[in-house]
Amino acid sequence: MIPTIPVLVTMPFGDYLLDDLRAVSPRLEIRQQAVTHDREDISLLLQGDEEIIYCMTPPRDLARAPKLKWAQLHSAGVDHLRGHPIWDTEIVVTTASGIHAVPIGEFTFAMLLALARKIPKMVRLQERQEWLRNRWEVLSGLELRGKTIGIVGYGSIGREIGRIAKYGFHMRVVAMRRTMQTPRRHYSEPGVGDPEGRIPERWFAPEEITEMARQCDVLALAAPATAETRNLIGETQLRAMKPHALLINIARGELVDDRALALALKEGWIAGAGMDAFAIEPLPRGHPFWHLDNVIVSPHVAGATGKYNDRAAALFAENLRRQLTGLPLLNVVPHDLQY
């Protein structure tokens, strides 16, 4: 008799998604116990026989999971696992990288178009029922066609931003990557992104970020939060940008020096910013970003659409097939890099 493989799912997948996972193989014994908060410790949910866990955060008490071989995360980033004991084990960690490319790629351009065409200012005028006499001057916008967009972090999300920019808006695309080595084996949806990395007209290294910022009309941040990317965009880079330039951060708040950005927006070093991630979340009351009329504050929801769980379950199903057939898993996080 072929032994079954106990799998615990702690995220709120619907019955139809659980059925899809069970259909991968009769060997999978899938049990769901959804958490009420996606960052809570799931240690007490364990029965001790789990070999695979689907979760946002793996159990902190790994002694309760003596048979655990692999944890599939519900998120693309792993910065919330800093200091987690799982990095000191041989348990494989995989992420949901790749499922966010479409929703966050589209969200990036929603923010970008809103800022470029002064939509937030129009909404404020609408709230006041005010029709400006000098509206042509005050609401004159920025056309994206032919402009240069710099993408910091050319992973799955960055590549979809690049595809939309080039083929949707005929923009010139440049990009920054930490290394030009062959990327890891990542999940991607057919027809999404730039798998071969052919779209960028120029590549920049991290130490060239200031020169990259100087050349761009739009700077889109899609890099992971690491020690190297902390405050990657600070006063030097913001002062180097063009006065009409726009900054979009759909990655992590730690990439940007908040104080420098608030000053840049207030004094007009750049024209505007769209922020979906912040160093401190929720964004504290009284933070300058709440009061500036050239910044869009989004509460870390760029990936939030009705298809998130469908995409997440499809990725998990593919990795389950790979696990059962001996193929390499997608989106494996090296324990030494932790991103």
For residue 162, the SS3 value is helix
Domain positions in the chain: 5-99+306-325, 101-297
Question: Can you say whether residue 271 is alpha, beta or left, with left for phi > 0 and alpha for psi between -120 and 50 degrees?
Answer: alpha
Encode pLDDT of 63-87 as tens digits.
999 999 999 999 999 999 999 999 9
State residue 178's pLDDT score: 80
How far does Cα 315 stand from its chain's mean position?
16
Active site residue 281: yes
Which letter, b or e, does each residue of 241-254 get, where b requires 16 or more Cβ atoms within 10 Å of its Cβ? bbeebbbbbbbbbb
Active site residue 300: yes
Encode pLDDT of 140-158 as tens digits.
999 999 999 999 999 999 9
Encode pLDDT of 297-325 as tens digits.
999 999 999 999 999 999 999 999 999 99
Mean pLDDT of the chain: 95
For residue 204, the SS3 value is strand
Q: Which of 74, 84, 186, 252 is catalytic?
A: 252
Structure tokens given for 180: 């030009």
Encode pLDDT of 111-138 as tens digits.
999 999 999 999 999 999 999 999 999 9
Q: Is the pLDDT of residue 35 over 60?
A: yes
Q: Percent of the chain scored above 90 by pLDDT?
A: 93
Using CA atoms, how far residue 95 sits from 55, 92, 210, 236, 331, in Å, is 10, 10, 30, 33, 5
Task: For residue 233, give the H/E element and its range.
Answer: none
- The residue ranking higher by pLDDT, 323 or 39, is 323
Q: Is the pLDDT of residue 224 over 90?
A: yes
Q: Which of 300, 318, 322, 335 is catalytic?
A: 300
- 260 vs 283: CA distance, rounded Å: 16
**CATH classification for the domain delimited by 5-99+306-325, as one of 3.40.50.720, 3.40.50.300, 3.40.50.1010, 1.10.357.10:** 3.40.50.720
Q: Which of 143, 208, 228, 281 is catalytic?
A: 281
C-alpha closest to that of 226 among 79, 332, 75, 93: 79
Domain 101-297: CATH class, spelled out: alpha beta
pLDDT mean over 4-24: 97
> Do 112 and 144 touch, CB atoms closer than 8 A?
yes
* Other Cβ atoms closer than 10 A to 162: 26
Encode pLDDT of 84-106 as tens digits.
999 999 999 999 999 999 999 99
* CB contact set of 209 (below 8 Å; sequence gap of 6+): 152, 176, 232, 233, 237
Looking at the chain, list the stretches that DSSP marks H as alpha helix, in order from N- to C-terminal side.
Answer: 15-22, 101-116, 119-127, 135-138, 156-169, 209-215, 235-240, 258-267, 308-325
Where are the strands (E) in the chain, listed by range?
5-9, 28-32, 52-55, 70-73, 92-94, 148-152, 172-176, 202-204, 218-221, 246-249, 272-275, 295-297
* CB contact set of 91 (below 8 Å; sequence gap of 6+): 58, 62, 68, 69, 70, 71
- 295 vs 261: CA distance, rounded Å: 10
State residue 100's pLDDT score: 97
User: Are 5-99+306-325 and 101-297 in the same CATH fold?
Assistant: yes
Encode pLDDT of 228-261 as tens digits.
999 999 999 999 999 999 999 999 999 999 999 9
Q: Is the pLDDT of residue 184 over 80?
A: no
- 74 vs 201: CA distance, rounded Å: 33
pLDDT band at 183 (very low <50, low <70, confident <90, very high): low
> Do 220 and 149 touch, CB atoms closer than 8 A?
yes
State residue 39's pLDDT score: 77
φ, ψ of residue 126 in degrees (nearest 5): -60, -40
